[in-house]
Structure formats: C-alpha cells, structure tokens
Chains A and B, each alone.
Chain A
C-alpha cells in the first residue's frame, strides 16, 4: 500500500490497550468494546444460521430429500430463520458498526446510556443462549413465523423456549434503539445540526424509531402465543373461539417493519461509502434523509401484504397493495441518488466500495422482485413459493449482508487499527456477488414454476434448479468464510492503519485509529456540511 498524506503511526494508547483482563471487557461500558462483544456474538450466530442454511441446501440436492426426516428438516429451516432474523440480521449493523461509530460520528465520548448499552448485550447473550438451548434440546418446527394454530396446538417442538428467547432479544433491541435516539438528540457535537449529520446517523435514527415502536408489539404477540400454547386461552385457536389470522396480523405488524430494521442501516452504510469513494458530496442529501424517515413511517402500514391469500378482505388487500408500492418509492429514490453520487466523481474501487456496489445491484433485484409480490394478481401465484424466498434473500442477505461487509471493511481500520489485505477484500466482494446470484437466482424460476417453500421433498422436475442453487451455496459459503479468515489474519499481520485511510469526511476519521477510550482529545466542532469532499487534487489517496 502506498503512502498517504497522514502517516500511519503507532499509537501507544487506545481503547484496546485500556485493560487486558476479562473483567475489563465483560464489565466495560465503552461503546467500542461493547461493539466488539456484539461483533463476536453475531458472528457466532451468523455461522450457526449459516450451518443450518448449508444443511437446507444439502437436503434439497435430490427430490426426495437428503435428510431422512421431514421433521428434522422443518426444525433446521426454522432454526435458520430464527437465528438469522433475530440474532443476526436485526442486530447486525446497529449493534456492531452503529455502536462503534455513532458516538464517534456525533463527536461524543460515548452513547447516552453506556450501562444500558452493556445491559442490552447481556440481554442479547441470554436470549441467544436460550435459543441455542432450544436448538440443542430439539428445536422448533413451525417456521420462524410461528403461525397459529400450528404453533399453539399442534407443534411438538420447543416453541415456548424459542419464543422466550426472541422476547428477551426484543428488550435488547429496544434498549439499543432508545440509546441511539437519545444520543442523536442530545450528544451531537457543537455545530452539528440535524442536516449536518451523516446519513448513517439518520438511518440509525429511523431504525431506532421502528425498534422502539414495533418491538413491544412482537413482545405482546409472543406472550399471547406462549399463553395460548400453555393455557389454551383461545385467542388464536378457532376451536376455542379465537381467530388464527389475528396472530398473523400482530406478527407482521412487527415483522414487516423489522425488514426495514434490517435494511435501513444498510442504506446508511452505503450512503457513507459511495460519496467517500466517489470523492463527491452525496447526491440529494435531503431526499435520502427524508426517504429513510418516510420508509420508517410507511413500513408500519404494509403488514397486510403478507396475507393476500390468507383470507382477509379483498378490499383491505387493495389498500395494502398500494401502500406496499408507496414504501418502495423511497427505496427507488435512494438507488437513483447513489448512482447520482457516482456521476462525475473520482471513483476508487477499494473493497468497501465493491461491497457497496454489490449491495446496490443485489438490493435493486430484491426490490424489483418485491414489485411482483406487491401486485395482487401476480402475488397470488408467486407467494409462498421459492420466488418469495429468493426475493427476501436478495434484500436481506444479498443487500443487507453486503452492506454489513461494506461497513465492516470501511471502518475496520478504525475499529482495529489495522488495514485488511486489500486484494483479498476485493476478491471477497466479487465472490460473494457471484455466489449469491448463483444460489438465489435459480430460486426465482423455481418459484414461478410453483415449487412451494419449506418443502422437505419436491417433484423431480425441480431438481436441476435446486442442484444449481445448492452449487451456488457452496461458493457463497466459501465467500463468507473468506472475510472471516483474512480479517482475523489482519488483526495480527495487517498494516497499521492511519487515522483516516480513506481521506473520508466524518468525525470518526478525525481521531486516531483505533480511538482512545475517550474517543477525542477535545470535543470536535462542526462547521462543514457532511460529505464535503475536497477535489481529488488536494488529497492524494491510496490507489
């Protein structure tokens, strides 16, 4: 790597050297250390969920199913969904990158409630332990959606234990959301007005509002579910006078906004990276910001689009259809704005940028196929098939996980004080993009041809596409292991990172890498607008 204007130097002190005991980590209130605790935890969950995904693709290699028991298969994909949704996707960006970067971007010393931040990690860990416990004692077979009355009266799995785990994880989410909202309101550096905030902060603000407002509804729904299962109270079971659709309404009232909890932080990460590597101010700052807020608001009004064939009224389906199109508009605007940012820029192709470009590509495919499912007449044929599986994996895995990796590479020098190996980073971004498309694109076709999701075995005419998808999954698995390997390698062997390796704006780059426990020597003062990138002649950067 070539020289930069700011010479990398070895800092004697940083938050990493501030105590080496186990206690100094487990009882820390430093947002940066908590972010690392979270990073370790969600990585573990990602690989548990990933192992389940590998078993799913293994099973579907042959029409009759490689795994002998359908019951086992049902438990595997349920565990995949539960772990990935609640223990990886929802927390991933906010609690790791968000936790680390938010106070730095704000120019603050820490989040508003450092102890609450630590408590949220412990809640998350307790929840995760219970989820893993329920996995080891046998798991659940209801799918991550827990539809009633299957989950209340008929399932023989460990529904209550799993539900308790998710219930507790919810409190962790609420604590994080509250912490972010209050920090952004109260801890902005002098001069940082709302419209001088980086888009990442706006995105996390929108995310936090959803977390704080929607998660309590999930908690209530899960309590009702557990009560119904244990005491047969008759809220959801028609045999006892309940309404099975009520559960779906309540569940999706949380779970649809939760999709935006997963993707909004990804939008935020990409909105940091595209300007930084295009050396250009972000295109349409106000539009991007208000798109995040409108997504957060409209996301509460679209839950019914999961129930177009569930037996709700035809006219309510129409209202939910038009609202679903409305929520897609701001996402489309964002994509156009990112491309607008690249226009007339000075674009560099470091790994974070490649991951971010991959995000735009995969998210656009995921978003466009969402239009198929929002169109009522088309949804009737495509819903509950592999088309839906492919659609939400493009958004949540192709999109969201690419954004997570983009952010992880972008802030890796800040977090660890080490540079990751650039060539390996670029290779990783490329292989993930290819492996992802090979895995999930065939599933769109499978879905159109009618293959239902959650099937342990399938008619033989679907075999070719399933084998193709499983082959792609092996590449994808390798692609996810690759960053684990080279990022770990860089912790020891990586080149020392300067304070601002990308020549990026944003207060987090104005302190040393890795930062001091106190973050800044003195409180920074903000005068410039965000993304005020100087012309490239001024700053020589790495090529």
Chain B
C-alpha cells in the first residue's frame, strides 16, 4: 500500500505542486471553518454566560472583504491551473509520434517504424512523445496516472496527447471513460525505457516494414495514386483524367480551402480529407474525390497518413 505516486514525466511534478497548493489552501480553509464552528459551539452555547455584547447590525464590510479575498484566491488558482493546462496540451513540434487506436476493449499501438503492440506502450525517456489517438467504436480515455495525463479518445477524429517521460519503469495504463462491459479490462502497461533500450526493443520486434512503406502499398491498392499520381506528385490532364492536388510536400504545409480558410495539413486534416472530402475541398480543384468512410480501417488510415507524411520532404515536380 502506497500513498504516493511516481512522478514519471517532466510535467508530473508541476501537476503535483498545483495539487499540493490546493491541498494546503483547503486545509487552511477547513481549519478556519471547523475551528470557528467549534469555537462558537463552545463559547456561544446556550448555557454559556459569556457576554455577547451588542449585535452587529451592519455586515457589508465583512461580506465584501471575504468576497474579495475569495475572488482573488480563486483567480490565482485559475491562472495557475490554466497555464499548466496550456503546456500539458500543446505538444512541442519535434515530438515523436506514436499512434493509438482504442476499441472495445483493447488498446492498439502503432510505432512509426511499423512495430505494433496490444495493451502495452514501449517508449523512450528523455524526448517528447505525442500520441495521436482515435477510437474504432465508442469514446475511450487514455490515462496514465504516473504521467498525470489523460485525454478522451474519440471515434471519427484524432486527439493528441503528449508527455516527456523521465523515469524508466512500468506504469498503469487505464481507460477512464466508461466504454461498455469490458471497461475495467481495457488496461495496459506503459514501459518507459532509456533510448538505447528502446532502440533494442524496436529491433527485437522485427517489423517487416515501416508504417510509411505499408502505407504506400495501401495508397496504390485503394486507387489513390490514380488521381494523386504515383508517389503523390499530383495528377494533371496529361497523366490522368482527373486533376487532383499533389500530396508530396503537403504534410505540415498551409492549405487554402475552397471556402477561403487556411488550414495546416496535419494528421487530422489528412484523415478528414480521406473520410470527409466534401468538407475539406482544396481551392482550385473540382469536388470529385469520393469518401472512403467505412472502407478503410483506422489501422490502414494511419499507414496511409504516415506515407503521405513521408512525402513531405519531397518537393512536387
């Protein structure tokens, strides 16, 4: 039985400081409330002859002072909590991406190198890691108490959760959003390891091909290359019957949509383009792309996105 929890990430101590501050403030307020209550219960009990003096008729001075004191204290706590939250949910750009798929009642993890695991996540310490998460069915929640982080995993979209582990060890992974009968079994372990050990683990897994390579096969098989061209160089009238935007160099760039808005081409955008193309029409191209909703599994989507991402470094011809 332990009453403390390992601080296994860079942000864990920060969360604990905030909780500790809240705890101290609460204890002070509780001491005040219970102390005054007990004091008055004894001092002003009906049988006590203590002099009550004249009753104060005007209360507004006291009222305004404790109202203002409460407001100031609450505002301070708000700023503290909000500042931490901002940092907890804004991943640094150089974070290593690992993909997470939740389904009733298991977690599937896809590493960029093509290694995949079930109900376990091996990761290196000392570098920021961003989990890109989605669900195949209901809402789940990816929660690691030792990391002090959690986020819901929603069907139909990608949510990102990031952290930087510092302490090697094995930690609990819980699904904390009620997801049906096997909710309590939807757990796993997070194995934080040093960088060389992680490298060794990756090699032992012996993945046949990286996510991007697997994605290229899917890119061909699903007919994406027909319009977007082999290697995603873009289609034009000369090469194919349909003119479609180039995908090389797309990832991470700014895209102007037909409705005039400008979006960044991240995982979420590419996913929406594949499943809901009508909502993501790129300016200057006809709305001819069919929706692939329901035809490509979440696993395969991740691979296709990884492939498109791998084209980012190549410039369109």
Interface positions of A (Cβ within 8 A of B): 65, 70-71, 74, 141-143, 145, 147, 149-150, 153-155, 238-239, 244-245, 278-281, 283-284, 287, 308-311, 314, 317-318, 321-322, 325-326, 328-329, 332-333, 335-337, 339-340, 342-349, 357, 360-361, 364-365, 368-369, 371-372, 374-385, 445, 448-450, 452-459, 461, 463-465, 536, 541, 543
Residues of A within 8 Å of B187, CB to CB, are 459
Smallest CB separation, B64 vs chain A (Å) = 9
Query: Which chain A residue lies CB-closest to B23?
Result: A372
**A536-B212 Cα distance, complex, nearest whole Å:** 84
Contact B155 A149 (CB under 8 A): yes
Smallest CB separation, B127 vs chain A (Å) = 21
Contact B22 A311 (CB under 8 A): no
With an 8 A cutoff between CB atoms, is B118 at the interface?
A: no
Contact A346 B46 (CB under 8 A): yes
Query: Could you mark each residue 106-142 of chain B with 1 if its beta carbon is under 8 Å from any beta carbon of chain A, else 0?
Result: 0000000000000000000000000000000111010
**A309-B176 Cα distance, complex, nearest whole Å:** 11
Residues of A within 8 Å of B63, CB to CB, are 284, 287, 333, 337
Query: Which chain B residue lies CB-closest to A243?
Result: B156
Contact A457 B184 (CB under 8 A): yes
**A348-B5 Cα distance, complex, nearest whole Å:** 45
Residues of B within 8 Å of A145, CB to CB, are 178
**A280-B52 Cα distance, complex, nearest whole Å:** 11
Residues of A within 8 Å of B200, CB to CB, are none
Contacts A311-B152, A380-B150 known; A283 to B180 CB distance under 8 Å? no
Contact A377 B143 (CB under 8 A): no
Smallest CB separation, B183 vs chain A (Å) = 6
Pick the residue among A337, A348, A372 that contacts B19 (CB under 8 A): A372
Contact B156 A332 (CB under 8 A): no
Residues of A within 8 Å of B77, CB to CB, are 325, 371, 374-375
Contact B33 A339 (CB under 8 A): yes
Query: Could you mark each residue 258-295 of chain B with 1 if its beta carbon is under 8 Å from any beta carbon of chain A, else 0?
Result: 00000000000000000000000000000000000110
Smallest CB separation, B53 vs chain A (Å) = 7
With an 8 A cutoff between CB atoms, is B75 at the interface?
A: yes
Contacts A361-B37, A445-B3, A461-B1 known; A376 to B183 CB distance under 8 Å? no
Query: Which chain B residue lies CB-closest to A453?
Result: B176
Residues of B within 8 Å of A349, CB to CB, are 41, 45
**A452-B66 Cα distance, complex, nearest whole Å:** 36
Residues of B within 8 Å of A383, CB to CB, are 150
Pick the residue among A238, A325, A464 that contacts B156 (CB under 8 A): A238
Pick the residue among B5, B46, B83, B86 that contacts A347 (CB under 8 A): B46
**A340-B39 Cα distance, complex, nearest whole Å:** 12
Contact A70 B183 (CB under 8 A): yes
List 10 additional A-B contacts (Cβ < 8 Å) besides A74-B178, A74-B180, A318-B82: A153-B138, A245-B154, A284-B59, A314-B89, A321-B85, A329-B71, A364-B30, A375-B18, A450-B143, A456-B183
Contact B19 A448 (CB under 8 A): yes
Contact B152 A309 (CB under 8 A): yes
Residues of A within 8 Å of B151, CB to CB, are 309, 311
| 9 smallest beta-carbon distances between A and B, as pairs | A450-B145, A238-B156, A377-B84, A375-B81, A376-B85, A384-B176, A325-B74, A455-B184, A368-B26
How many residues of chain B get a CB closer than 8 Å to chain A's CBs? 81
**A154-B294 Cα distance, complex, nearest whole Å:** 17
**A375-B53 Cα distance, complex, nearest whole Å:** 42
Smallest CB separation, A206 vs chain B (Å) = 18
Within 8 A of A (CB), among B1-47: 1-3, 5, 14-15, 18-19, 22, 25-26, 29-30, 33-34, 36-37, 40-41, 44-47
Smallest CB separation, B85 vs chain A (Å) = 3
Contacts A347-B41, A378-B81 known; A329 to B67 CB distance under 8 Å? yes
Residues of A within 8 Å of B52, CB to CB, are 344-346
Pick the residue among A357, A368, A372, A452 that contacts B37 (CB under 8 A): A357
Interface centre among B29, B77, B178, B179, by most chain A C-beta atoms within 10 angstroms, is: B178
Smallest CB separation, B248 vs chain A (Å) = 30
Contact A333 B180 (CB under 8 A): no
With an 8 A cutoff between CB atoms, is B218 at the interface?
A: no
Query: Could you mark each residue 68-109 of chain B with 1 if its beta carbon is under 8 Å from any beta carbon of chain A, else 0?
Result: 001100110110111111101110000000000000100000
With an 8 A cutoff between CB atoms, is B238 at the interface?
A: no
With an 8 A cutoff between CB atoms, is B315 at the interface?
A: no
Cβ contacts A to B, 19 pairs, < 8 Å: A149-B139, A154-B104, A238-B156, A245-B154, A278-B44, A309-B150, A321-B78, A322-B78, A328-B70, A337-B63, A349-B41, A360-B37, A368-B26, A368-B29, A374-B78, A376-B84, A378-B81, A384-B143, A452-B143
Contacts A329-B74, A450-B145 known; A384 to B177 CB distance under 8 Å? yes
Residues of B within 8 Å of A325, CB to CB, are 74-75, 77-78
**A147-B88 Cα distance, complex, nearest whole Å:** 25
Contact B148 A347 (CB under 8 A): no
Residues of A within 8 Å of B139, CB to CB, are 147, 149-150, 244, 310
Query: Which chain A residue lies CB-closest to B68?
Result: A329
Residues of A within 8 Å of B146, CB to CB, are 450
Contact A314 B81 (CB under 8 A): no
Smallest CB separation, A148 vs chain B (Å) = 8
Contact B59 A283 (CB under 8 A): yes
Query: Which chain B residue lies CB-closest to A463?
Result: B1
Residues of B within 8 Å of A375, CB to CB, are 18, 22, 77-78, 80-81
**A371-B174 Cα distance, complex, nearest whole Å:** 24
**A459-B47 Cα distance, complex, nearest whole Å:** 53
Residues of A within 8 Å of B40, CB to CB, are 339, 342-343, 345, 347
